[in-house]
Amino acid sequence: MGWEFRLFAAAALLGGCDVANAPYPLGDIAGNVFYSSFSERPKHLDPVSSYSLNETPWTYATYEPLLHYHYLKRPYTLEGLTATEVPIPRYLDKDGKTLPEDAPTEQIATSVYTIRLRPGIRYQPHPSLARNAAGQFLYHDLKPEQIAGKHSVLDFPLDRAATSTRDATAADYAYQIKRLASPWVPTPSPIYNLFNQYIVGLKELGDRLKVEHAAALKDRNPRDLYLPWKDLRDEPLSGVQALDDSTLQIQVIGKYPQFKYWLAMAFIVPIPWEADRFYVQRGMAENSLNINNWPVGTGAFMLTEQSAYRYVLKRNPNFREVRYPSEGMPGDAEHGWLADAGKRLPLLDQIVFNLEKEREPAEAKLMQGYYDTPDLSRIDIGFSLLKEQMDNTGRSQTLREHKLQLVPANEPTSGYIGFNMLDPVVGMGDTPEQQIRNRKLRQAMSIATDWEEYYAVFFDTYGPSETAMGPVPPGLFGYRAGQAGINPITHIWKDGHAVRRPLDDAKRLMIDAGYADGRDVKTGKPLLIFYDSNGVGPAYQARLNWQVKQLAKLGIQTEVRASDYNRFQERMRKGNEQIYFWGWSADFPDPENFLFLLTTSQGKVKYDGENASNYANPEYDELYIKMRALPDGPERQQVIDRMVSIVREDAPWSFGIFPGSVGIYQQWVHNAKPTQVIQDRSKYLRVDGTLRAQKVTEWNKPKVWPLGLALIALGIVLWPALKLYKRREAANARTTRIAVASGRMS
Amino acid sequence: MINYLARRVIYSLLVLAGINFLTFFLFFSINTPDDMARLQLGGKRVAAEAIERWKAEHGYDKPLYLNLKAGGTAMLTHTVFVENSLGILHLNFGKTLEGRDIAWELGKRVGPTLAMATPVFIVAVGLSIVFALGLMLFRYSTLDTVGVVALVALMSISSLFFIITGQYVFGKLMALAPLSGFSPGPGMFKFLVLPVAVYVLSQLGSDTRLYRTIFLEELGRDYVRTARAKGLSEIAVLLTHVLRNSLIPIITSAGLLLPALLTGAIVLESFFGIPGLGSFTIEGINNQDYAIVRAMVFFGSFVYVLTYLLTDFAYAWADPRVRLQ
């Protein structure tokens, strides 16, 4: 084996690493670094506009909202992050008089949230905050030529600065809220239109800034990216006040208890005005230097490197003292999720994200130990591995040997088939008779669509799912499990289990609806339903075929209209669909975030909202308003039960599935409690680098002998070739002629 | 020569302008500015007002080709086409929808692409010539037949198969090279070995087969018989006479490979995680980013035009009878 070793050593030397297939040096692998991947660069890192899941590993690591969820407690529990506690609103009537906590909703004109900030919240080192000993900013008055050639914030050295940070204050939160309404921020906020309905004065501010911005743009060359700085500190916003450096007051219109959940999202975070002042300088935009690419935050990590193939987050040296939680749920200690209780966060020094466009190499590198988790933002991609482990097929042996952590969890997400209520066949219907017929048709189709079969067949996509019996997923207040929670329209309770109603029930409903055996009794024509899907390609085809098969059980013909997501959305907006498949992932763990999807004010066609079925039911709307204002408790449960009952009966959706989740983590990753709701989880993670280096070396021993075999095979081919060549060269004219005559040579 | 050059430059400019218009037309036949805005703003809670603001901010708030609300020349100039598309003719590549400078991105990404394309080009062309000449040495023998069958097999297999098999065998089973990834500087060597090998292998079948045919045709010529009659060895005949006289079709074939390599091997870069021009193109298509698509199509066209021009010069070098007029 000596030559093999020498060959490997040479290969390793050429590659500059200790393990030939290692994408990073072994020294780094043994370090306190977390490795993950990304398939698409984040579009927005500015907290004004970042709303996509794939951006959360960066935004929630670098920015800090006021609140967050306790890392270990379930159901999810809000607690203060930069705020000292979850604020309890004070209610005022229209005259500004304080109302009692249990005042009727209609009397409440304003909810006042007074939020106290923790001391010592400091920004990451950043050139925008760099000042000299005299207190002057080092990089606020740069000439374009001083910016030319600089494409990273690290190109602005901080070694000359007396300070490069400062404390975050309540005014910085107020500043960021104003940024949500500001057209000077080049990427519009997806949440502005929601917030301006709730935060007092935000809409007025937005309207005012819009006019000013249009005037500022009027004489500007459209190709010029420069626009002078707009100091939003000077702009009044009546509903948001920094009472002092550590007290923020936000006034919300009416009563909106769910507002506290928005305080846990990265829209309301501290942004220093200096950052905007720094990035606005002429030449910055040309070099892609802006908050959208280079965030400035107070979070546990800071972005230090970004390129097309790699993003690196490093520990923020100014991060204040935050400790790992010391209490959790039963079983957490057994999982080892309390082993680091009381330790200072973050536990990692660095997080490295590498580009992986394709799934296959990403999975293979996971199996080799080069990724600690394949995608830090998602826990819904481990189903195929879990299935292999459960079925004892494929890589199950390796999965067991590598002790990969595959931890299932239930997360507030739902998938469903929606009926367009504006459609004459499956929709609400114009006359009372038509309404009954259409409702029965929807109910029949809901029964016939066997979702239990769906998630069993498509386990690789949806994992250990649960049949949805209503819009509220498990884990949220309002969800009912067991017999009390079944949808009586589609299921019956039998032998302690929910069982889908027999197909005969659906067929009876079809007869009542006027479609016996799937044919319109009046015309005799078969019922043809158009099914819109935003999935195209082979991966979706099986799912589309499955859906066609479900409705065929009732004699219904289905024509699938598969299109890309843009075309699909366009049809939804115009109400051109008949039935469609869609889903919703929660913004926050409250039933309101699912029940609002069926309110009239969210109608897609009329209001461009999220109610793609355009369902409208005044009773449901009324109950929704009531439910939204109620605290969790029996009364709220009662209201939710009634709302769920209404939509079960009306069936604007065929309640589909609550997909499962499976977190994938290597054996050396600690504290990886799977969650899709808690986004600031990177600061809790820990890796055992020594174990990782040991395992990676063990799992990736190079095998050079096949190269030796290949060389021997080559020799076997070349040897007779050489002999043949020599023979031909030695041949005289006579032998050559004979060879030509026998067809062996030209 | 100068006339020839001037004529080619004028043709090239017309071709580039035409391609620029065609790119715009095709892109906006499939996508609308609203689609682009929605994709950028995300799928949830996107209000019509935010879409309008996004379009205004990115210069997609005007009609595509004809602005009937504007008067005079503004009817043509105050359009998305003129404002967002014609800048490229001044080599102003603009910015990505996320605000990144495209010229800078191209500068960063051309390095990885060149690092892969250069060895691929040299090794693939070189090896194909060597294999084709080798087969010529044993023409009409069993070895030649086996070789041709192997070449046809290589041609028939999808490059995706080579990629996946290469990653599986060398990255996974033998653990000799990283499955994917990239590192700048000398560290890139270990990341490029496997993609280069895979690309060369996927090219080998068609190129060797083509060169074999070219050489076979040359071998029947009189000058070859004369060379043999002089007593030259078969290797000398092939290397000094046949190869030189076959250079024109070889240059044509290699010239076609070069621009494809320089604009980035899209699938290869995608699977191996190489941040080159190919993956930039994919990024542009996936994000419905017209500025990236336009820049990459323009860059690709420019490389093709330039390569063909260089190919013409190479003809003149390879065969003194060729005159560029």
Model confidence pLDDT, tens digit, residues A143-171? 999 999 899 999 999 999 999 999 999 99
Instruction: Place A510 in a pLDDT band, splitting at 50, 70 and 90.
Output: very high
Instruction: Place A223 in a pLDDT band, splitting at 50, 70 and 90.
Output: low
Name the A residues in 644-703 with CB < 8 Å from any B CB: 700-703
Is A703 in contact with B175 (Cβ distance < 8 A)?
yes
What integer is the mean pLDDT of A628-637?
93
**What is the residue-averaged pLDDT of chain A?**
91
Q: How far is A705 from chain B (nearest CA, A)?
A: 9
Model confidence pLDDT, tens digit, residues A396-415? 899 999 999 998 888 889 99
Is B190 in contact with A222 (Cβ distance < 8 A)?
no
What is the full DSSP assignment across A145-181? Answer: HHHTT--SGGGS--TT-SBS--B--HHHHHHHHHHHT
A54 touches chain B (CB under 8 A): no
Higher pLDDT among residues A459 and A561, named by residue: A561
Per-residue confidence (pLDDT) for residue B325, from 0 to 100? 65
The 3-state DSSP composition of chain B as helix, strand, coil percent (nearest 5) reads 75, 0, 25
B140 touches chain A (CB under 8 A): yes
CB neighbour list of residue A609: distance below 8 Å, 6 or more residues apart: A601, A602, A603
Least confident of A434-438, A474-478, A545-549, B251-255: B251-255
How many Cβ atoms sit within 10 Å of the Cβ of residue B163?
Answer: 25
Nearest of A478, A692, A483 to residue A594 by alpha carbon = A478
B180 touches chain A (CB under 8 A): yes
pLDDT at A1 over 70: no
Per-residue confidence (pLDDT) for residue A14, from 0 to 100? 45
pLDDT at A616 over 50: yes
Per-residue confidence (pLDDT) for residue B264, from 0 to 100? 63
Among B127, B174, B296, pick the best mutation site for testing chain A contact (most A Cβ within 10 A).
B174
Per-residue confidence (pLDDT) for residue A418, from 0 to 100? 97
Cβ proximity of B275 and A309 under 8 Å: yes
In which element (H, E) is residue B39 found? helix B33-41
Per-residue confidence (pLDDT) for residue B252, from 0 to 100? 84
Q: Which residue has the tokens 């043509």?
A: B76
Integer Cα distance of A659 and A492 in angstroms: 22
Report the chain A residue with the minimal C-alpha distance to residue B33: A566
The length of chain A, given as a count of residues:
746
Kindly state the tokens that stand for B163.
């990629």
pLDDT at B231 over 90: no
Task: Collect all residues of chain A within an 8 Å Cβ-Cβ radius of residue B140.
Answer: 743-746
Nearest of A551, A472, A564 to residue A517 by alpha carbon = A551
**In the beta sheet, which residues pair with residue A313?**
A303, A351
pLDDT at A2 over 70: no
Integer Cα distance of A308 and B287 in angstroms: 14
Is B104 in contact with A288 (Cβ distance < 8 A)?
yes
Q: What are phi and psi for residue A611, nearest 5 degrees?
A: -85, 85
Kindly state the tokens that stand for A141.
């008055």
Instruction: Place A733 in a pLDDT band, splitting at 50, 70 and 90.
Output: low
Per-residue confidence (pLDDT) for residue A193, from 0 to 100? 87
What integer is the mean pLDDT of A272-296?
94
CB neighbour list of residue B6: distance below 8 Å, 6 or more residues apart: none
Cβ proximity of A628 and A256 under 8 Å: yes
Per-residue confidence (pLDDT) for residue A745, from 0 to 100? 46
Least confident of A72-86, A254-268, B82-96: B82-96
Higher pLDDT among residues A410 and B217, named by residue: B217
Per-residue confidence (pLDDT) for residue A571, from 0 to 100? 87
CB neighbour list of residue A704: distance below 8 Å, 6 or more residues apart: A4, A7, A8, A11, B174, B176
Instruction: Return the HEC string of A644-698.
Output: HHHHHHHCCEEEEEECEEEEEECCCEECCCCCCCCCCHHHHCEECHHHHHHHHHH
Name the B residues in 246-285 with CB < 8 Å from any A CB: 270-275, 279-280, 282-283
pLDDT at A16 over 50: no
Cβ proximity of A115 and A250 under 8 Å: yes
For chain A, percent of residues with pLDDT exceeding 90? 73
Name the A residues in 30-49 with CB < 8 Å from any B CB: 40-41, 43-44, 49
CB pairs under 8 A between A and B: 204
Report the chain A residue with the minimal C-alpha distance to residue B231: A729
pLDDT at A4 over 50: no
Per-residue confidence (pLDDT) for residue A15, from 0 to 100? 45
**Rg of chain B, C-alpha, whole Å:** 25
Q: Which of A222, A355, A717 sits opposite B273 (nearest CB)?
A: A355
Q: How far is A743 from chain B (nearest CA, A)?
A: 8
Instruction: Place A9 in a pLDDT band, splitting at 50, 70 and 90.
Output: very low
Q: How far is B215 from chain A (nearest CA, A)?
A: 14
Integer Cα distance of A172 and A150 in angstroms: 27
Integer Cα distance of A180 and A235 in angstroms: 13
Is B87 in contact with A223 (Cβ distance < 8 A)?
yes
Distances (CA, A) of A738 to A257, A325, A723, B298: 100, 91, 19, 59
CB neighbour list of residue A735: distance below 8 Å, 6 or more residues apart: none
Helices and strands in chain B: count of H runs, count of E runs: 16, 0
B99 touches chain A (CB under 8 A): yes
What integer is the mean pLDDT of B306-320?
81
Model confidence pLDDT, tens digit, residues B252-301? 888 888 887 777 678 888 889 999 999 899 889 888 899 999 999 999 89
pLDDT at A689 over 50: yes
Is B47 in contact with A608 (Cβ distance < 8 A)?
yes
Q: How far is B31 from chain A (nearest CA, A)?
A: 8
A150 touches chain B (CB under 8 A): no
Per-residue confidence (pLDDT) for residue A450, from 0 to 100? 96
What integer is the mean pLDDT of A590-598?
96
Q: How far is B239 from chain A (nearest CA, A)?
A: 15
B57 touches chain A (CB under 8 A): yes
What integer is the mean pLDDT of A509-529?
94
Per-residue confidence (pLDDT) for residue B94, from 0 to 100? 85
Q: Could you tell me the pTM of the whole model?
A: 0.89
Model confidence pLDDT, tens digit, residues A410-446? 888 999 999 999 999 999 999 999 999 999 999 999 9
Kindly state the tokens that stand for A374.
């394949």
In which element (H, E) is residue A409 found? strand A405-410
Per-residue confidence (pLDDT) for residue A176, from 0 to 100? 98
